[in-house]
Chains A and B, each alone.
Chain A
């Protein structure tokens, strides 16, 4: 008890503010650059959302963000009434939806399969081989997709020709875009995403395996009755987290893969924001900000709901 008292200056919370500032002066010093960073690059831009409600004049700099004439909900109305609204929301949702349906189960299957290998070096080699695509840049992945699928000299069409099938101009056909996006996305991430499931499976106590084997269970029964139930909490948690990103498609990959011929199925909210705000001249900053804000609000709401569900189901919440 006596020792506790001698430390009271260190742990005591109810010191006057001045004393607390003095005591934490080094911590405050460390936080200064950090706070400046978040203020300049995160919170200050948030105030720029005011642009969504006014008519920003090009060339009026940062000052213009706050002093341009107020137009209320004009940009939102314009967006909701345009043909783009339904198309962008549908495309954004469907790309994420199919990525979830195709991309979510594969890492689990792969993790179950790879943990059946009992020789560690083989297991590690198989795993490393499947991690590789995850670390390749989006530019290179899209470059590979584009060139593999090219009708002039692409390997896929070469193969099709060999079997007497005519070349398909994959990148210019709207019906192919979602498949290309989803399959390449699953290809890139399944190995890396399996890491967490592999770790969960490795964490199962060997005694449980032994007990099942003694009871005469075969491999399939062990997987079905021991392995899968053990990783169920991990699966549910990741599923909820994935659901939280349902309306946020990675901008870069869509941007690098699409072209005007496939806008019908490929254009998503983020690419539209980019085209309206930066990719055209003169740029339409206010309108693009309004569309972006619409997307942020929806994302925020979805994450919020996903987090609520997560707290209910798994007792794990992001905040």
Chain B
């Protein structure tokens, strides 16, 4: 605030209070990540002695290299990439396919289908019946189990539907009179007009896919198909020492503490999110507004 100070002492103290509060908020949000990064790239000795508090001590990439050399990390990373890209793509396509007919006022099943859609938001069969259906469909340990059960989110369909509804009706009528069918109208006219909304939905779906751990816990036990989050859970929360074991022959590995290896895993997995969030922040604001308008 370069604004020349004018006002009472009370105003000054009030500003000070606000700045302290904001600084605290930023520190609280950034410090944990900075600390994790610092531990990840410090020497094992410094970490074990508890010397790393804020910045890296004795810059050292041994732990980083140990983790990066571990094959299962890349297998699970690749799986997550596949689940995220293909899953999100299918999510967006099917959300549009659901939202467009439901937004057309003339569609004769509109009311009934809208009700059936909304109902799923408030009531579900619950964990066990869904689990039985998915496993009995033969999806256990299949990549489809990571993609199909979360194919369409009713909430996102509603957001997409309001976006389609906000397009002027005359545009559709004219296109129809010109002889365009609904597939043509959807793909060539409606979808390009709601691109900002679709960007937000893509973001929401992609983050959910990238972070999805629950589906993997329920349906995937095969390490060749496990996503990154399932791998991280083993390392971070079940204290698996698999990474240290495989590399115990290589030099320097012994000095690495378990905690350091875990923090490296956090760094490796969080980087894509850290890079994407600042880039898409303007969409975030739009996104919550979409929800609010609907809400």
Q: Is the pair B101, A31 in contact by a Cβ cutoff of 8 Å? A: yes
A-B contact pairs, 23 of them (CB 8 A): A10-B106, A11-B106, A17-B108, A23-B106, A31-B98, A31-B109, A33-B97, A34-B94, A45-B130, A46-B129, A62-B133, A62-B136, A65-B132, A114-B22, A117-B22, A138-B211, A140-B236, A146-B236, A153-B47, A153-B48, A199-B289, A237-B292, A292-B128
| A35: nearest chain-B partner, CB-CB | B113
Cα A34 to Cα B96 with chains together (Å): 10
Decide yes or no whether B223 CB sits under 8 A from chain A: no
Q: Is the pair A140, B270 in contact by a Cβ cutoff of 8 Å? A: yes
- Which residues of chain B come closer than 8 Å to A116, judged between CB atoms? 15, 18
Question: Which of A80-88, A96-104, A119-127, A204-212 contacts the other chain?
Answer: A119-127
Q: Is the pair B127, A278 in contact by a Cβ cutoff of 8 Å? A: yes
Contact pattern, A 121-135, Cβ under 8 Å of B = 1, otherwise 0: 000101111111101
Q: How far is the CB of A157 from chain B (nearest CB, A)?
A: 10
Q: A24-B107, A131-B281 are in contact. Are A143 and B18 (CB under 8 A)?
A: no
- Which residues of chain B come closer than 8 Å to A142, judged between CB atoms? 236-237
Decide yes or no whether B262 CB sits under 8 A from chain A: yes
Cα A40 to Cα B136 with chains together (Å): 12
Q: Is the pair B116, A273 in contact by a Cβ cutoff of 8 Å? A: no
Q: How far is the CB of A14 from chain B (nearest CB, A)?
A: 11
Decide yes or no whether B4 CB sits under 8 A from chain A: no
Contact pattern, B 147-163, Cβ under 8 Å of A = 1, otherwise 0: 01101100000000000
Q: Which of B121-176 contact A (CB under 8 A)?
A: 122-134, 136-137, 148-149, 151-152, 173, 176
Cα A260 to Cα B36 with chains together (Å): 28
Interface residues of B (CB under 8 A from A): 1, 3, 7-8, 10-11, 14-15, 18, 21-22, 25-26, 28-30, 32-33, 35-36, 47-48, 50, 53, 94, 97-98, 100-101, 104, 106-109, 113, 116-118, 120, 122-134, 136-137, 148-149, 151-152, 173, 176-177, 181-183, 186, 207, 210-211, 213-214, 218, 229, 232-233, 235-237, 257, 259, 262-263, 265-266, 269-270, 273-274, 276-278, 281, 284-285, 288-289, 292, 295
Q: Is the pair B101, A136 in contact by a Cβ cutoff of 8 Å? A: no
The 9 closest A-B pairs by CB, nearest first: A143-B236, A48-B129, A45-B125, A137-B211, A292-B126, A26-B182, A45-B129, A27-B101, A34-B98
Cα A58 to Cα B94 with chains together (Å): 35
| A130: nearest chain-B partner, CB-CB | B29
Q: How far is the CB of B72 from chain A (nearest CB, A)?
A: 15
Q: A30-B182, A140-B269, A153-B259 are in contact. Are A42 and B124 (CB under 8 A)?
A: yes
Cα A270 to Cα B281 with chains together (Å): 33
Q: Is the pair A150, B259 in contact by a Cβ cutoff of 8 Å? A: yes
- Which residues of chain A come closer than 8 Å to B148, judged between CB atoms? 37, 41
Cα A171 to Cα B137 with chains together (Å): 38
A24-B108, A49-B129, A296-B123 provided; 16 other pairs, C-beta below 8 A?
A13-B108, A17-B108, A24-B106, A27-B104, A30-B97, A38-B117, A42-B120, A44-B125, A62-B132, A113-B18, A136-B270, A140-B266, A142-B237, A143-B235, A146-B236, A316-B295
Decide yes or no whether A228 CB sits under 8 A from chain B: no
Q: Is the pair A277, B266 in contact by a Cβ cutoff of 8 Å? A: no
Q: Is the pair A119, B131 in contact by a Cβ cutoff of 8 Å? A: no
Q: How far is the CB of B132 from chain A (nearest CB, A)?
A: 6
- Which residues of chain A come closer than 8 Å to B273, judged between CB atoms? 132, 135-136
Q: A38-B116, A116-B18 are in contact. Are A124 and B281 (CB under 8 A)?
A: yes
Decide yes or no whether A179 CB sits under 8 A from chain B: no
| A39: nearest chain-B partner, CB-CB | B116
Q: Which of A41-81 contact B (CB under 8 A)?
A: 41-49, 51, 61-62, 65
- Which residues of chain A come closer than 8 Å to B7, judged between CB atoms? 218-219
- Which residues of chain A come closer than 8 Å to B214, judged between CB atoms? 251-252
| B185: nearest chain-A partner, CB-CB | A26
Query: Which of A35, A130, A147, A153 touches B26 (beta carbons < 8 Å)?
Result: A130
